[in-house]
Amino acid sequence: MSTSSDPVTTTATTTSTYESTSTYETTSTYETAVVLPADLHARPAGQLARAAAGFTSAIQLEHADRTVNPTGVLAVMGLGATAGSTVTVRAEGHDAEQAVTALAALLATAE
């Protein structure tokens, strides 16, 4: 449900699990849809891959029924996302929110 004035839509869920070692482990899942201002070519794909590699969460990019791991430049370019199309960024893990926020910002400002 993105509009041209608001290119990013975010949803989040958090799951806590209790382990037998008497500690709680929290895993978060975040998802954001971004409308691209430009085609997703080599330069922004490289920026995404470098940024994605810096997080421990499992991250996925989705476009037109294709889902890829964004740590690979060719995988990101293989999505074939063009200006005006919507790309969904999804992450699950301890730094999921930060990962989705960082990758969504890169996508929203792609040139």
Query: How many Cβ atoms are within 10 Å of 80's Cβ, its own excluded?
Result: 11
Q: Look at residues 1, 13, 9 and name the one whose alpha carbon lies nearest to residue 96.
A: 13
Residues taking part in catalysis = 41
From CA 64, how far away is CA 5, in angstroms rounded? 22
CA atoms within 13 A on the CB side of 39: 5
Contacts of 6 (CB under 8 A, 6+ apart): none
* φ/ψ (deg, to 5) at 97: -60, -45
